Structure 1
Amino acid sequence: MISAYKRRKLAFITVVYWFLLLFIVAAWIWWFISLESQNSQMRFYKLLQLNKDDPAYEQKLFFINDEHRRKTAQYISEGISFVIVTLIGALFVYRSVRKQFMLNRQQQNFMMAVTHELKTPIAVINLSLETLLKRKLDEGKQQHFIKTSLQETERLNDLVSNILITSQLESGNYINDKESINFSELVYKCVTDFASRFPSRAITKNIRENIFINGESLLLQLLVNNLISNALKYSPKEKPVQVSLSNHNGNILLRVMDEGAGISEEEKKKVFAKFYRSGDEAVRNTKGTGLGLYLCKRITENHNGKIAIQDNKPAGSIFNVEFKV
Structure 2
Amino acid sequence: MLPQESMQSGGSQRQDESGEEQTLLNRDEQFHLWIENIADIITVFKADGTIFYQSASITRLLGWAVEERVGQNIFTNPITHPDDIQAQQAFLIDAINNPDKVVTSTFRLLRKDGTFCYIEAIARNLLHHPLVQGIVSTYRDITERMELEKRKEEFIRAASHELRAPITNLKGHTQVLKMMLADHDAMEEPVEYLSIMDKQIDRLTRLINDLLDVTKIRASMMDYKDTLFEVDPFVRDLVILLQHNSSHHTLRFSGESHATLCADKDRLAQVIINLVMNAIKYSPRGRPIDITVTAEDDRVLIRVRDYGKGIPELYLQRIFERFYRVPDTDNDNRSGLGIGLYVAREIVARHHGEIQVESQPGEGSTFTVALPINT
Normalised-by-shorter TM-score class: 0.5 to 0.7
Change (3 A) 1:81 1:249: farther
Q: Which moved more, 1:287-296 or 1:75-84?
A: 75-84
- The separation in 1 between residues aligned to 2:237 and 2:183, in whole angstroms, is 35
- The separation in 2 between residues aligned to 1:221 and 1:135, in whole angstroms, is 31
- Paired residue for 1:185, among 202, 218, 233? 233
- Paired residue for 2:214, among 142, 166, 171? 166
Question: Which residue of structure 2 lines up, in the alignment, with residue 225 of structure 1?
Answer: 273
- Paired residue for 1:319, among 335, 348, 367? 367
Tell whether 2:306 aligns with 1:258: yes
> Shift of residue 201 of structure 1?
1.3
- The separation in 1 between residues aligned to 2:241 and 2:171, in whole angstroms, is 20
Amino acid at match of 1:268: L
Q: Which moved more, 1:206-215 or 1:301-310?
A: 206-215
Deviating 4+ runs (over 6 angstroms): 66-73, 90-97, 122-137
Amino acid at match of 1:181: F
TM-score (norm: length of structure 2): 0.53
Could you say what the CA RMSD is over the residues aligned between the two structures, in angstroms?
Answer: 4.6
- Paired residue for 2:185, among 138, 154, 162? 138
- The separation in 2 between residues aligned to 1:95 and 1:252, in whole angstroms, is 43
- Paired residue for 1:212, among 254, 260, 265? 260
Change (3 A) 1:254 1:93: same
- 8 Å contact 1:177–1:216 — kept in the other structure? yes
Residue-pair matches, total = 249
Amino acid at match of 1:196: H
- Paired residue for 1:81, among 32, 42, 45? 32
- The separation in 1 between residues aligned to 2:179 and 2:237, in whole angstroms, is 30
- The separation in 1 between residues aligned to 2:300 and 2:39, in whole angstroms, is 44
Question: Which residue of structure 1 lines up, in the alignment, with residue 246 of structure 2?
Answer: 198
Which is greater in Rg? 1
Change (3 A) 1:205 1:303: same
- The separation in 1 between residues aligned to 2:227 and 2:139, in whole angstroms, is 45
**Which of the pair is proportionally richer in strand?**
2
- 8 Å contact 2:178–2:194 — kept in the other structure? no
* 1:122-173: CA deviation from partner (whole Å, max 9, x where unpaired): 9999999889989997356265345434323322332222122222121112
> Shift of residue 175 of structure 1?
2.6
Question: Which residue of structure 2 lines up, in the alignment, with residue 291 of structure 1?
Answer: 339
- 8 Å contact 1:183–1:210 — kept in the other structure? yes
> Shift of residue 178 of structure 1?
2.3
Change (3 A) 1:86 1:248: farther
Change (3 A) 1:93 1:209: closer
Change (3 A) 1:124 1:164: closer
- Work out the percentage of aligned pairs sharing the same amino acid: 19
SS of structure 1 residue aligned to 2:240? helix
Tell whether 2:252 aligns with 1:301: no
Unpaired segments of 5 or more residues in structure 2?
Answer: 1-13, 42-121, 123-137
Change (3 A) 1:133 1:253: closer
**Which of the pair is proportionally richer in helix?**
1
Question: Which residue of structure 1 lines up, in the alignment, with residue 224 of structure 2?
Answer: 176
SS of structure 1 residue aligned to 2:40? helix
Question: Which residue of structure 1 lines up, in the alignment, with residue 317 of structure 2?
Answer: 269
- 8 Å contact 1:128–1:149 — kept in the other structure? no
- The separation in 2 between residues aligned to 1:229 and 1:241, in whole angstroms, is 10
> Shift of residue 305 of structure 1?
1.4
SS of structure 2 residue aligned to 1:287? coil
- The separation in 1 between residues aligned to 2:256 and 2:182, in whole angstroms, is 47
TM-score (norm: length of structure 1): 0.60
* 1:85-126: CA deviation from partner (whole Å, max 9, x where unpaired): 6568399799979x99xx9xxx9xx9xxx9xxx999x99999
SS of structure 1 residue aligned to 2:310? coil
SS of structure 1 residue aligned to 2:323? coil
Amino acid at match of 2:30: G
Change (3 A) 1:187 1:313: farther
- 8 Å contact 2:310–2:362 — kept in the other structure? no
> Shift of residue 225 of structure 1?
0.6
> Shift of residue 324 of structure 1?
2.8
